């Protein structure tokens, strides 16, 4: 089994995460992946999305590069898993960022 390179926990970028979540197709892919709660083949999830395989592949890459999923390859099978640790960290980063921005609004 081969793990596709993932971003490190220290390289999280709020803009990248929010951009990945902004697309409704990616949100649906994440929802479907999360519903399995364990690694699932990309093809199984892709059957439930009404876009081309190339487009699904593009969305998987964006989610992986944002650090929201883990991708593994075994033989000819590509599997994805929801990464709860990275999700939790991503939301903590978003909350810290948002609270700092809110505290600076109106100061000048």
High-pLDDT (> 70) share of the chain, %: 70
User: Strands of 69-74's sheet, edge to edge?
Assistant: 2-3, 69-74, 77-82, 40-41
Asked if residue 20 lies in contact with residue 26, where contact means CB atoms within 8 angstroms, the answer is: yes
Alpha helices in 66-107 (DSSP H): 84-104
- Alpha carbon distance 74, 92 (integer Å): 33
Residue 102, pLDDT score: 47
User: 78 vs 94, which has greater pLDDT?
Assistant: 78
Asked if residue 14 lies in contact with residue 20, where contact means CB atoms within 8 angstroms, the answer is: no
pTM of this structure: 0.73
Q: In the beta sheet, which residues pair with residue 77?
A: 74
């Amino acid at each position: 089994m081969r793990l596709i390179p993932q971003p490190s926990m220290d390289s999280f970028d709020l803009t990248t995460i929010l951009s990945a979540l902004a697309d409704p197709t990616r949100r649906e892919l994440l929802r479907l992946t999360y519903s399995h709660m364990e690694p699932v083949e990309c093809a199984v999830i892709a059957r439930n999305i009404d876009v081309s395989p190339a487009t699904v592949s593009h969305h998987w890459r964006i989610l992986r590069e944002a650090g929201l999923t883990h991708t593994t390859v075994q033989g000819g099978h590509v599997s994805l898993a929801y990464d709860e640790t990275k999700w939790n960290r991503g939301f903590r980063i978003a909350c810290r960022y948002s609270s700092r921005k809110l505290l600076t609004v109106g100061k000048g």
